[in-house]
Amino acid sequence: MSIVKINVLTVPEEQRETLEKRFAARAGTVDSSDGFEWFELLRPLEGTDTYLVYTRWRAEEDFQNWMSGRGQAAHRDGAAGGGERPKPAATDSTLWTFEVVQQAAPKQD
């Protein structure tokens, strides 16, 4: 089955809008990657300054290929117009990896 990568980002309140705008500006950059299955940016509602970046991949190899290609380029070339790379909005980042062992979807009528 698939693998899930969750990037756990610590984002100070004053940087939340910046983080969300940066993700919005890059929308669609991962969608056509081989093995990519799903993306979600999860905003905390209360009690934490942690955002979760959820991606789902067919296999670990697909994620690694994206990271060494488009993913790396997206982070390296983060500045609009090729200028100086902006300061990260997150103050900390941890990558979690999970294997999907069960899944469910809404029943179709």
In the predicted model, residues of the chain with pLDDT beneath 50 are 79
Q: Give all strands (DSSP E) within 11-91, no chain letters.
A: 36-42, 50-57
Residue-by-residue DSSP string for 33-92: STTEEEEEEE---SS--EEEEEEEES-HHHHHHHIIIIIHHHHHT-SGGG-SPPPPS-SE
pLDDT of residue 79: 47
pLDDT of residue 62: 96
Domain 3-99 annotated CATH 3.40.50.1100: no
Q: Where are the domains of the chain?
A: 3-99
Instruction: Say what the pTM is.
Output: 0.85
